[in-house]
Structure 1
């Protein structure tokens, strides 16, 4: 058993992140041809946000039951807005310099900027939304 709760949380958060990132990238690749890079990014992030908050709530921070679930999901949407600014901003910069960017370049850009967004997300989840469960 790991001694430090934050390490356990980071390990579980990483597992949830991998699942949600793969789902988000697949949705982005599916939506991009029809609605373009920015709307596809926003749609993929919003759709996976509810899944991400639910999984982190249950697995990472060990919170179960209905108490504060709606508030947690609402706050999770606020946190995902921060991720959207980070990943959308990176796509904006890519397309400003390379308007002809490929799907592969978009996916690399959103993945790399997603790492920054993930660090911000974990911090916000741990210290704001789920602070009541920081000890698990």
Structure 2
């Protein structure tokens, strides 16, 4: 698959994953703090995202288990990035609105997505030479 097709496929899956993350976050936020709601939302969305990218974007025959283990490392970095953004918002704005929380979460997610694509392409789903 060409780089252009990978970027398009990754983007479509990313939009779906992002929407799933935001929906779960909004629902979980009624019960938990921003950091816990973020963990729940990202966990669910990452499982979907990794498998969809394994099958549709990178088309790799690599074992699913290995891809999910490597993706867990990327998940930890992405969770740290988005959680730090939410915690930073809490420091700057003591009682942020849900809309502001979602804006910060979405912005941090977009930043992390670029790095995730590069690492998925070059490490997790790298074609054997």
More relative contact order in 1 or in 2 (CA 8 Å, sep 6+)? 1
Q: d(CA) in 1 for partners of 2:18 and 2:118?
A: 17
Residue number in structure 2 paired with 1:35: 32
Ranges in structure 1 where 5+ consecutive residues have no aligned partner: none
Residue number in structure 2 paired with 1:44: 41
Instruction: Determine helix, strand or coil for the equivalent of 1:131.
Output: coil
TM-score computed with the length of structure 2 as normaliser: 0.94
Q: d(CA) in 2 for partners of 1:24 and 1:99?
A: 23
2:124 pairs with one of 113, 129, 132 = 129
1:99 deviates by: 1.7
Is this contact kept in 1: 2:60–2:127, CA < 8 A? Answer: no
Ranges in structure 2 where 5+ consecutive residues have no aligned partner: none
1:16 pairs with one of 13, 30, 37 = 13
TM-score computed with the length of structure 1 as normaliser: 0.90
Moved over 3 A (4+): none
Instruction: Determine helix, strand or coil for the equivalent of 2:96.
Output: coil
Residue number in structure 2 paired with 1:61: 58
1:8 deviates by: 1.0
| Cα RMSD for the two superposed structures | 1.6
Is this contact kept in 2: 1:83–1:117, CA < 8 A? Answer: yes
2:95 is equivalent to residue 87 of structure 1: no
Instruction: Number of aligned residue pairs: give it.
Output: 129
